[in-house]
Amino acid sequence: MRHQRAGVHLSRTSAHRKALFSNLVAALFTNERIRTTDAKAKETRRLAERTITWARRVGDVLGKKPERRTIEESARVVHAVRMARRIVRDRGAVMKLFDELAPRYTGRNGGYTRIVKLVQRPGDAASMSLLELMPEDGASAPKTEGKSGAGGKTAGAPAAKGSAKASAKGAAKSAKPTAEPAKKPRAAKAK
């Protein structure tokens, strides 16, 4: 029985699991969306939301300049950074968390991420999901490129500004009819 045993094992050792989820949360903070299996996405969401909460709780102190903070406020920030570094070992991801993501979620109590189900992975039919950070309350939701399931670990990266010419080329390319080679009929097996 697994009474009061939180988290998933994923057929990995504890050190492998910790490294896996640390890398997934760091990738989520860096890219703001990742494509992974359902089980990994659910566990990554649990850890990411906890880490964002640590950063959000000191959001009022982060608005001040470091030299203007009291000793207690500096201690709160150091403690929050250390707690975040327990889960996310990537320094750049932690800096983005405290500089950009924490101010984004100051008015929100939880629910910083969402999971969008995708189609099954072709190789092993694993159910896939897109784990992404929620946009700011005033901003529009980022567009998901679809549920095709194709692509790398991150999906749906927003297009760069001024890429209207590139998208027009892509639309012209897709409008061209493509000639598919004729399929040969299978020969019946002799018994």
Q: Supply the pTM of this predicted model.
A: 0.71
Q: For residue 187, tell me if it sits in a domain.
A: no
**Tell me: the pLDDT tens digits for 12-54?**
999 999 999 999 999 999 999 999 999 999 999 999 999 999 9
pLDDT at 17: 96
Q: For residue 60, tell me if it sits in a domain.
A: yes
Q: For residue 67, tell me if it sits in a domain.
A: yes
Q: Which residues lie below 8 Å from residue 36, measured CB to CB, with a gap of 6+?
A: 24, 44, 128, 129, 131, 153
Q: For residue 141, tell me if it sits in a domain.
A: no
pLDDT at 129 over 50: yes
Q: For residue 49, tell me if it sits in a domain.
A: yes
CATH code, domain carrying 107:
3.90.1030.10
pLDDT, the chain, mean: 82
Could you give the number of structural domains in the chain? 1
Q: For residue 185, tell me if it sits in a domain.
A: no
Distance between CA atoms of residues 185 and 151, nearest Å: 32
* Residue 159 structural domain: 14-135+151-166
